[in-house]
Structure 1
Amino acid sequence: MTELCRCPWLDTSKADYVAYHDTEWGVPLLDDDKLFEFLTLEAAQAGLSWYTVLKKRPHYRTVLANFDAQQVARFSQHQIERLLQDPGIIRNRLKVEAAVNNARCFLAIQQEFGSFAAYQWRFVDGRPIVNAIRGPADYRATSKASDAFSKDLKQRGFKFVGSTTIYAHMQACGMVNDHSLDCFRREQIIATYRQLGLG
């Protein structure tokens, strides 16, 4: 059987990483709960490898109320201190506090725009950006859209949302399609845009 061609950054020896690439990365998300999950995990990932956070995601779901922003926004200082003792997550005080802070900011955006998705997708005018990635050198760390998105989030009080983190978030949740030209997922995801009413 012919091996499927996948993005050059993927370590295909890690089955869970392959599953993430094949089923999640780059798929357009319009669900606020999933967007809060990705935003929280990207913030936790800052300075680390994404795979490190991916392995911890099941435990993050447990301790962060399955990424329910309303519940996380109500976390007390005592709950934050308990999280900082939990080896199943990234035990960085600023990142843990940011998760709670960002949940509160997330709720404020939902109230203003009706949904976080409606707010987020404005930064690409509701149309996924499809890049022509031929090899590792074609991947970028930021874009004008991620700069604008990051700046706006910071102005609204979010933490750990630099442009590089936000560009990774945009890639993960399908605002940007950075699957390589020869990756089998690229065209599959493009085919979903019309079904989702994007573009």
Structure 2
Amino acid sequence: MHPGAPLPPAFYDRDAAVVARALLGTVLRHETSEGVVSGRIVETEAYLGPHDPASHSAVGRTARTWHMFGPPGTAYVYFVYGMHWCVNAVTGADGYGAAVLIRAVEPLEGIGRMRARRPRARRDQDLVNGPGKVCAAFGIDRTLDGTSLTGAGALTIVAGDDVPDEHVLVTPRIGITKAADWALRFVLRAAPPLFPRP
């Protein structure tokens, strides 16, 4: 795919772990009335479906998780800890319930808008180096839950540069208690100034 082209549904219609790795280097883009913000995806986590005890889909389809079961390439946006939004890309077959959490990006466009939305961030590297921070800086909330990421709406993921395997670190997922040892977190190691943690 050419850089800048929206990723098609077929890109997401694969195992969540495969998509999580493939999303590294692609670009998350949100076009709002205030302007465009974008960032290169540098950290993801895969949630494999109903058999994954850490996945929201493990409890079945509910009002909260409804769009996690949507067709591949759907945005699944949920609220956590009573304060943060998190954005995921739905993967696999329609109705299955797998997704990839976007954990961190490298800012590209609209950094001034990101700063305005996250005024307490003291450094640019702190703007979007966590899943809740990404949504806050990008203006992503429940209104985007269930929208398509494939180019039909304001929130899209577009092709970027290829990332060689030697630049990717694979670790257990973080911030969870169930299946925390599953190696399903993927980090682009080529961005150490922004994301120094392993």
TM-score by length of 2: 0.24
Task: Compare the two structures and name the one with the higher helix fraction.
Answer: 1
Task: Compare the two structures and name the one with the higher strand fraction.
Answer: 2
Q: Larger relative contact order (C-alpha < 8 A, sep ≥ 6)?
A: 1
TM-score by length of 1: 0.24
